[in-house]
Amino acid sequence: MALLLRGARVAVLAAFGVFFVGPLLWLVLAPTKSDHELVSRGPFTFGSIHHVALAWKHLYAFSDHIYLTWIGNSLLYAVTATAIVLVTAIPAGYCLALGSFPGRRLVLTLTLVVMMMPAAALVLPIFLELNALHLIGSVLSVILPFAFFPFGVNLAYIYYSTALPRELLDAARVDGCGEWGTFRRVALPLAKPVVALVLFFSFVSDWNNFFLPYTVLGDSKQYPIQVGLSTLLSSTPSFNPAVGGGGQQVGIFRPELALATLVAVVPVAIVFMLSQRSLVRGLVGGGVKE
Amino acid sequence: MKQRRLWPAVVVTALAFVSACGGSSGSGSAKDGITVWVDAARLPAAQAYAKAHPDKKVHVVTFDGDGNGATTLQTKIQLWNRSGKGWPDVIFSEQANDPVWMAKAPFDFAAPLEKLIPENVRSQWPQTSTAQCTVGGKQVCLQDNLAQVVLWVNKKQMEAFGYTVPTTWQDWAALGEKVAKEHPGYIVGNIGDSFSHWIYLWGNQCPLQQLEGDKVKIDPTDDHCTRAAALFDPLIKNGTLPPLSVFTPDFAKKYGGAQDKVLLMPGPSWYAQAVFDQALHVPAGEMTAANPLQWGSESPVTTGQVGGGPWIISKHSKNSAAAADFVTWVTTVFNPTGKDARPGYPAYAPLAEKWLQALASNPYFAADPTPALKTAADQVWAGWNLVTYPDQPVWSDKVVTKMVAGDSLSSLLPTLGSALGDAAKAAGYSVVGN
């Protein structure tokens, strides 16, 4: 009976594993095959490195090397906005957790409400605001809205209100630290895990945002990678028959598209690996009180 | 200590980035040049214009082309209208019906061409092409290419099986019945694409979007529709006219490449490269084109069209003369050869002549396809008009999915007519004949 149960457990886990890993594996193997091999050979067969190089050559040549520009733009938008988020969200969370000022509860509630609103719902009012400020089409029209990250404030607030012993802060004050000094010398160094957490979530959220840049940017050379990928998708005849015979000259087929998607994930993977240790600590921080 | 040094650096870097990049230029009309929006396939044409005119400032923006049901241009134009700036001077769209809504409120984007491009130039487009670009009596676009439907033929396979190329829909259907018995698995067409009704019903004069002033006639009970559907149904049932899309991996696996099971396929002019060579990987030396199929002995012979991307000039352009010069050049002069040759049949007749000459010697074809393409260019049925609402999703949703489930096309025509009628009414048309 125990053996049967164990077998069933393994079978269920294996089924879920195959279900989730299958598409990922297919995506990783797709650029190793030609477009024709992609439909004629087995889905999980390995083609050749030569095809990866060829797919990269086509991808690199697309619209005068615009793919790298898109990656660069995404890095610029995500890194800059995340830097602003870190500078603003961590102190804000600290103040909300440990400070006492009129309207604190209201700010906290608003942070939660805005956090729960879908980002797309705010795009039109943001567009009108940016238009009034004559920022449409500039990089600020992406970076400034990205820098508004209430989830980061909330994360910092939760961390400071649950995981940081107030006695430590009191000790700093007794030793002569002012409020700023207490935050900078004690609270901030101790908040490494939450800083990593906010950094990761903010970066990923900015990196993956499609709708806002799609709406406010008017020049393909300013697009971030997510908007660029949609352009690549529509240049692939399999996904957009309307591209007609021009698709052959554009040179973007399913393997190129798969490679573009994979490369676009690399920066997120790097940020994840860099912040991994702190992330795990941050996620469980405050979970147990001794 | 490390942390103390890090924070000011981050702030300074962020501010430096922001201030350095804040003034980056967006798109939009400029007094000293023009901004053009093109899809990736039309980028070489725009770049070639810029290269040939070094004295002119051309800012090229690539976008998704608005094809395949995208609403990029509707979104963008509404946002530009809202902000009162940002409109490009010229747009190329993959969607043939885009000029129709672009010329109307609330978009109000497309400029009439009568005063921008001389009549002696515009008259070189086929009458059916000009008709598709005419909205409310004014011409608002020039089509880049024609996408007239011809009968694509796998000459090698047809000869191997001893079949003759049909000239009428009835002969074609009879051959489909024969193929089902003698060579099961081979096909004489496919009817599962989002645009298949433009191939099979447009060409057969089925009035599903026929404009009569402000009204649109949608009559799926018309004899032209019902008799065509009745002819197709047995072939859909016996598998020689599958309700599958040519662009799906399944289709390529079943009928393309080594299988090489496409005997015949009614389809637009751009199928040669985009479908047979690129999607199905039919080897060189097999395909050619035959004239559009005739309905019995009825004349004139009419055919459908799938595509014909238009160039549109913005009525907000501050440099409309330069915009018109650009559109004229890319449609009447741009004609590279070899691997860079234009992928579609040029709509401008004198350019089409040159393009056909080059195509005639293309080694991909088993026989010269140009006579058929040329014949079909003037046979596109003018009774099928472009409308502001998208009809392709309606066809896919109400017909293709049901045909896959086993329903006959004949039984689905009333549903199609009703759904198209709803779409037309939602777009503000009065509907007749439904």
- Supply φ then ψ for residue B346, to 5 degrees: -60, 135
Q: Does A127 touch chain B (CB under 8 A)?
A: yes
B10/A86 touch (CB, cutoff 8 Å), yes or no: yes
- State the count of interchain CB pairs (< 8 A) between A and B: 187
B307/A244 touch (CB, cutoff 8 Å), yes or no: yes
B67/A246 touch (CB, cutoff 8 Å), yes or no: no
What pLDDT does residue B221 have? 94
Q: Does B33 touch chain A (CB under 8 A)?
A: no
Range among A164-178, B65-79, B142-156 rated most confident: B142-156
Query: What is the average pLDDT score of chain B?
Result: 88
Chain B hits for A62, CB-CB cut-off 8 Å, are 40
Q: For testing the chain A interface, which of B4, B5, B39 should be mutated: the one with the most A CBs within 10 Å?
A: B39
| Per-residue pLDDT at B298 exceeds 90 | yes
Chain B hits for A139, CB-CB cut-off 8 Å, are 18, 21-22, 24
Place A245 in a pLDDT band, splitting at 50, 70 and 90.
low
Place A119 in a pLDDT band, splitting at 50, 70 and 90.
confident
**Averaged pLDDT, B217-239:** 96
What pLDDT does residue A170 have? 87
Give B 314-353 residues with CB within 8 A of chain A: 339-340, 343-344
Sheet with B90-92, side-by-side order of all strands? B57-62, B33-38, B90-92, B310-313, B142-143
A250/B41 touch (CB, cutoff 8 Å), yes or no: yes
Distance CA A37, CA A41 (A): 5
Place B21 in a pLDDT band, splitting at 50, 70 and 90.
very low
The pTM (predicted TM-score) of the whole model is: 0.80
Number of Cβ within a 10 Å radius of residue B221: 12
What pLDDT does residue B18 have? 43
* Contacts of residue B152, Cβ cutoff 8 Å, sequence gap at least 6: B262, B264, B265, B266, B267, B271, B272, B276, B287, B288, B289, B290
Query: What is the average pLDDT score of chain A?
Result: 88
Give the tens place of pLDDT for each residue, A2-19. Answer: 889 999 999 999 999 999
Q: What's CA B127's distance to the chain center, in Å?
A: 17
Chain A hits for B64, CB-CB cut-off 8 Å, are 230-231, 233-235, 240
Q: Where along chain A do its domains lie?
A: 1-47, 48-284
Give A 80-99 residues with CB within 8 A of chain B: 80, 83-84, 86-87
B344/A230 touch (CB, cutoff 8 Å), yes or no: no
Counting Cα atoms < 13 Å in the Cβ hemisphere of A8 gives 5
**Averaged pLDDT, B84-98:** 91
A137/B24 touch (CB, cutoff 8 Å), yes or no: yes
Chain B hits for A80, CB-CB cut-off 8 Å, are 14, 17-18
Structure tokens, A77: 């938008």
Q: Does A176 touch chain B (CB under 8 A)?
A: no
Instruction: CATH number for A48-284: choose from 3.30.9.10, 1.10.3720.10, 3.40.1360.10, 3.40.50.720.
Output: 1.10.3720.10
| Per-residue pLDDT at B88 exceeds 80 | yes
Domains in chain B, CATH or no CATH each: 33-146+307-360 (3.40.190.10), 149-304+389-432 (3.40.190.10)
Place A281 in a pLDDT band, splitting at 50, 70 and 90.
low
Q: Of A120-124, B140-144, B354-358, B380-384, where does mean pLDDT reach its minimum?
A: A120-124
Distance CA A147, CA B182 (A): 67
Q: Does B391 touch chain A (CB under 8 A)?
A: no
Query: N- to C-terminal Cα distance for chain A?
Result: 40
Q: Does B193 touch chain A (CB under 8 A)?
A: yes
Place B316 in a pLDDT band, splitting at 50, 70 and 90.
very high
* Contacts of residue A229, Cβ cutoff 8 Å, sequence gap at least 6: A257, A260, A261, A264
Closest Cα to residue A214, out of B76, B17, B186?
Answer: B76
